Amino acid sequence: MSIPLAYIGVIIIWSTTPLAILWSSEGVGFLFGVTSRMVIGAVLALVVAALLGAGMKWHRKALLAYMAAGIGIYGGMLCGYWSVQFIPSGWLSLIFGLSPLITGVMARYWLEDEQLTLTKLTGMLIAIVGLGVIFAHGVEMDSSMLFGIAGVLLAVTIHSASGVWVKRINADVPAIVMTSGGLALAAPLFLITWLVMGNELPSELSVRAVGAIGYLALFGSVLGFALYFYVLRHVQATKVALITLITPVIALTLGSLLNSEPITFEVVTGTTLILSGLTLFQFGGHMVKIRTVFQRL
């Protein structure tokens, strides 16, 4: 598979996921939405893996990778679904845009990646200021948004740690097998959580909720995770996280057009600062090198 095409696929899926998460929980609760998605996704992933002739691997590294992926899926998705009750869906993708920063810090110590230079630290500071603008705006609109923002930040941290952990383990397994293993571990955890919380099956489901759950199970879980793990296997973890530079803009636009979510001046300002900081974090060093070359010429 072409890595650029896999990148584009992940961008499209991740851009549409926040709004689909919101719709999948309408009238049924966030736990039913995420649990049904993960159970269906796990079954589909195992079926697809079998049809493709990619059998599950059971060596030590593979099992560790499944555990790392499953914990990331469970923790990240549970926090994300819970949080979207309190914030506009586009904010989910926007705050997830901070994953390159968190991934970069973790990769620095776990993967021995590039050093955290002054340029990278400056980019991190700018992005944090942007998050602060969004945070302050959320307080002004509704204090409950604080819970949503905090929940997404926790989801980002878990997601980033999982990605770096999977990269560090470096298990030699196909992407669809990695997806199947991660979902097979995460799905029972969601079922247990749903049962422990005393939830019951909903008496009725709207067409939009059913469609959103189906879309998230097939594309968001199976195809999305398979493409993500495929890209993660072939490139640096920090470069995989760069996908989140693009998805917030698309997700905010979709939320505004399809769900009437407001895009205020503060949101635009915070988004601009976050994306500017992320761009400086990743590409600032290259810009300095290019400028130095031209100065020498």
How high is the pLDDT of residue 154? 95
How high is the pLDDT of residue 1? 66
**Domain span at residue 268?**
3-296
Sign of CA dihedral 256, 261, 267, 273: negative
Buried b (16+ CB within 10 A) or exposed e, 161-184: bbbbbbbbbebebbbbbbbbbbbb
pTM for the model: 0.81
CB 81 within 8 A of CB 21: yes
- Count CB neighbours of 111 within 10 A: 18
Tell me the pLDDT band of 286, cut-offs 50, 70 and 90: low
User: pLDDT tens digit string along 181-238?
Assistant: 999 999 999 999 998 987 778 888 899 999 999 999 989 888 887 888 788 777 766 5
- Count CB neighbours of 249 within 10 A: 17
| Domain total of the chain | 1
How high is the pLDDT of residue 294? 38
Q: Residue range 73-100: average pLDDT?
A: 88
Tell me: pLDDT of 25 over 60. Answer: yes
Closest CA to 42 of 188, 232, 160: 188
